[in-house]
């Protein structure tokens, strides 16, 4: 039986047919084989959201280099999105190239994005979905705080690197205050694994503070 509750980390992104500024899309199917970042904003023609869209667009090519697409969303009609895009282009010199979902409220309710006590406004949510359609990261921000797009880009890079190299990423990676640009070796699952960890450290494969805290070059 399909889960109809709010999606959680590791869940398959819900199948949705959406109207966007670039036509109808079926998610996650239309993104098959790609990562994507779906981000909601409270409303068009609002100052914080405008700065966010410009910031996302300025990093769009960096996301695409990671095989990752951007998709915006709010509970606004498509003509409002289009007019807002035009305003951004005419007044700020930035052309928005990624699609924006025009939601009636159905998508926001399905994803749990309606801001409590703010009518139909959506929260500043971010869903990072991998190339298999699985939700890997969910972030929520209040209306008052704009997002840090460099952090979202870092999160995509970190998850992709983790998947490819079977490692964990430290705080502030790749500029951690303790292990710098190294990555963390996943902890052992048993005594044999702990002994193997010690042997690898002696052989110079890992650097360890202890058997449960080992790191290596990325």
Which residues are known to be catalytic?
A: 49
Q: Please, are residues 139 and 152 in contact by the beta-carbon 8 Å criterion?
A: yes
Cα–Cα distance measured from residue 155 to residue 161, given in angstroms and rounded to the nearest whole number: 10
Q: Please, are residues 68 and 35 in contact by the beta-carbon 8 Å criterion?
A: yes
Cα–Cα distance measured from residue 87 to residue 120, given in angstroms and rounded to the nearest whole number: 23
User: Beta-carbon neighbour count of residue 106 at 10 Å?
Assistant: 12
Q: Please, are residues 27 and 18 in contact by the beta-carbon 8 Å criterion?
A: yes
Mark out the alpha helices in 23-117 (DSSP H runs). Answer: 47-58, 60-65, 78-92, 106-111
């Amino acid at each position: 039986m399909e889960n109809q509750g709010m999606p959680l980390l590791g869940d398959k992104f819900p199948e949705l047919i959406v109207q966007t500024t670039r036509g109808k899309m079926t998610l996650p199917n239309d993104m098959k084989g790609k990562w994507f970042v779906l981000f909601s904003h409270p409303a068009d023609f609002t100052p914080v959201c405008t700065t966010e869209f410009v910031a996302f667009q300025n990093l769009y090519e960096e996301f695409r280099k990671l095989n990752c697409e951007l998709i915006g969303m709010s509970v606004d009609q498509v003509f409002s999105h289009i007019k807002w895009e035009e305003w951004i282009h005419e007044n700020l010199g930035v052309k928005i190239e990624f699609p924006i979902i025009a939601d009636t409220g159905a998508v926001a309710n399905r994803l749990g994005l309606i801001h409590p006590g703010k009518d139909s406004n959506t929260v500043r949510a971010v869903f990072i979905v991998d190339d298999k359609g699985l939700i890997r990261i969910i972030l929520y921000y209040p209306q008052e705080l704009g997002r840090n797009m460099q952090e979202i880009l870092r999160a995509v890079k970190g998850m992709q690197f983790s998947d490819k190299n079977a490692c964990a990423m430290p705080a502030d990676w790749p500029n951690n205050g303790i292990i710098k640009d190294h990555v963390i070796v996943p902890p052992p699952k048993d005594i044999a694994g702990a002994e193997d960890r010690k042997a690898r450290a002696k052989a110079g494969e890992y650097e360890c503070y202890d058997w449960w805290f080992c790191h290596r070059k990325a």
